[in-house]
Amino acid sequence: MFQKILVALDRSPLAPLVFEHGLQLASKYNGNLLLTHCIDLKVWENIGSIVDASFGLTPSSKLQQFEQEHLQEIEQCRQWLEAYSQQAIAQDVTVEFNCGRGEAGSWICNLARNWGTDLIVVGHREKQRLQKFLLGSVSQYVLNHASCCVLLVQTEKKLS
């Protein structure tokens, strides 16, 4: 049923559960996994330094520092996804991974479309309404824009 399963992971405590759901489905349907994590470039936080450095208004060392931090983050992402990949390989699941850059929701949807994904597995955390309104929700974006099925994984809600 699901032959190509894209598992979108973030650095939240929900990531292991999202991965586990994707892995179980890939095992059940003898499918392939594509693990991905999208790195936010934090452009808005660093735009002043980047623009200033490109115009020579501040030392280019700020730009070099930004680039170095970004390269370190990519390497950490690669190592993190490699660890998840090893878990999938141990269960005889074909897996590949990549780190994206930019806005996570559109990155996930574009990657899914290009890879021919049958199912996207993504985590969903409850956010306060104002936070969700101001910052948006990656899972909500994926749910509304994906060209395939989407499985939202969330933590169990406790009933009182």
**Segment 98-129, tens digit of pLDDT:** 998 888 999 999 999 999 999 999 998 765 55
Task: Answer whether residue 159 is part of any domain.
Answer: no
User: What per-residue confidence (pLDDT) applies to 135?
Assistant: 43
- Please give the structure tokens belonging to residue 155: 């933590």
Domain presence at residue 86: yes
125, part of any domain = yes
Residue 102 lies in a domain: yes
Query: Residue 107 is encoded by which pair of tokens?
Result: 């990155």
pLDDT of 130 reads 45
Q: Is residue 111 part of a domain?
A: yes
We report the CATH number of the domain holding residue 136 as: 3.40.50.620
**In degrees rounded to 5, what are phi and psi of residue 135?**
-100, -20
Is 132 inside a domain boundary?
yes
Q: Rounded to whole angstroms, how far apart are CA atoms 118 and 25?
A: 11
CB neighbourhood size of 34 (10 A): 21
Residue ranges in the chain modelled with pLDDT below 70: 41-60, 63, 126-136, 156-160
Containing structural domain, residue 11: 4-153
pLDDT at 121: 97
Buried b (16+ CB within 10 A) or exposed e, 56-90: eeeeeeebeebeeeeeebeeebeebbeebbeebee
Query: Is 158 contained in some domain?
Result: no
Total domains present in the chain: 1
pLDDT of amino acid 77:
92
Q: Which long-range contacts (CB under 8 A, 24 or more apart) does 68-74 make?
A: 70/39, 70/41, 73/39, 74/39, 74/99
How confident is the model at residue 80, as a pLDDT? 94
Q: Does the residue 106 lie in any domain?
A: yes
